[in-house]
Amino acid sequence: MFTSVVGQTFLKEYNKRNGKSYTAKEFFDKVLFKTFFDHKRYLMWVQNSPFVQGISKKKPFFDAQERQKNLQEFHQKVKSGDFEASIAIGYPASETKNFATTSGLVTDIDLPLSEEEVYLSWIGGTLSLGVSGGYALLFNHPSILYATFEGWQIYRNYLNDKVLEKLRPNQVITWNGQWLTYKFGKRFRDDFDLNDLINQKFFSTTAEKMEVNTINWSRLFFSLSHQHPSEACIAYVFALGQTNKTVGFIPFQLKSGRRIHEVYQQLFGEDNFRTNQADFESLLGKHIKRACELGNIGMQALEPKKLSKYFSNSSNLKLTKPSIYQKKGETEDVFHQRKAELLKKDNENLITFQTYKTWLIAMISKNKTEISDYTRDMASVLVKYREGAKKRDRANLLEKKLFATKRKTEFLEALIEIVNDDTVDLDIIEKINELRDKVHFLNQEDFTYFILLLKFDYAYQERIS
């Protein structure tokens, strides 16, 4: 199965980097078992395996002697050929025990399975990357696998730290996703400490517990694109649990991550990008299941969250500057707190606008090297047009006809209304004619993105006019 294939890729890389010649069993005994299971608190819980059978609330852990006994029992089961899901990671559950309905990552082809492949399956399975949505990604890529492995010992050290006794065990798959995102990201430092990881939002903490947060797939995607900017990597997307799910092999077009970063920086500047990168990236990406339905993970899969509602109706992005003044009877402390909240919300709205605009322009210009901010200039023309009226007739034309349509013909008809208005300045008429020509040559997909981008830029120009 694929976990064994990935395990083989990693083991070859591990031996090369460390001057070893370990077999899969030797690596399991000397590295994996000692890191994962030879402690009171495990890195991973493998249901029904010898490493967890017998653990309960009354007996929360095994002592050192019992752990060695469990290891020998595991080896004995491997030798016996009892290759089911609790012994070989990612393989089918036992048919004889009626667990087959919980199988995943399997084939109906009758393939011979060796003891070596069983141990390889543990190596490969424990290198999976957990992402939000309850799924895991498994890349058969040497540098990705080895970088993931480098995070194991860090999680182990934290679990062994008495100061961090609230840290939840058995989260190595979730940890892998967080760790690799940080390891391959621009903010990684070799001399990082726990506070750095806390600042990166690795953990959520309450009075009772501390646990590793699940990373959004888009943030992992951007870190991978930073490390491998021109590659397309295949990931196996799946979920192992009480109900196993297999999505399949999905190409990750990592160059899209680099592209969208470039567009953002060209539009809003490098300083703005460095300040807002984490917030910007967190807004991008469909649900992992929906993204996989596209057939590959690229620019389209990075569609920002909640953007779809602006495609389906005439909703407008609220970019009006907040009205900030001290209310009658309001204390200075209350006023300053409310002011800070309003400014924070306003900044979030601006980052949302920048994210939406970046993705839309990236989609429109995906086959071009030049990035145009034509809609910004055109939006200022439309604001000037609207301001030339004393009543709301021009505003209604823009909001209820021009921006509300999904069809090019209706959009062009709204432009004709503007051109036929004798009260409109000639310089505006000329710009509207240019807009008409540009829209005429857009395909339907690009038109959909273009009109939405124009609507957002119009909202922003209203804000600053």
Segment 210-223, tens digit of pLDDT:
999 999 999 999 99
Sequence-distant (6+) residues with CB within 8 A of 4 are 88, 90, 117, 118, 120, 121, 124
pLDDT at 96: 43
pLDDT tier, 108 (very low <50, low <70, confident <90, very high otherwise): low
pLDDT tier, 229 (very low <50, low <70, confident <90, very high otherwise): confident
Q: What is the pTM of this model?
A: 0.88
In the predicted structure, residue 174 carries a pLDDT above the cut 70: yes
Sequence-distant (6+) residues with CB within 8 A of 400 are 314
> What's the mean per-residue pLDDT of the chain?
90
Taking Cα atoms as reference points, which of 217, 238, 211, 214 lies closest to residue 85?
238
Taking the C-alpha atoms of residue 148 and residue 173, their distance in angstroms, rounded to an integer, is 10
> Rounded to the nearest 5°, which phi and psi values hold at 7?
-60, -40
In this structure, what is the dihedral angle of CA atoms 445, 451, 453, 457, given to the nearest 10 degrees? Answer: 170
pLDDT at 300: 95
Any idea what DSSP says for residue 250? E
pLDDT tens digits, 264-312: 999 999 999 999 998 999 999 999 999 999 999 999 999 998 898 888 6
Question: What's the maximum distance between 2 C-alpha atoms anywhere in the chain?
Answer: 93
Buried b (16+ CB within 10 A) or exposed e, 376-403: bebbbbbbbbbeeeeeeebeebbbebbb
Q: Which amino acid is at 206?
A: T
Overall average pLDDT of the 103-130 stretch: 79
And the tokens for 30? 């000397």
pLDDT tier, 56 (very low <50, low <70, confident <90, very high otherwise): confident
pLDDT tier, 90 (very low <50, low <70, confident <90, very high otherwise): confident
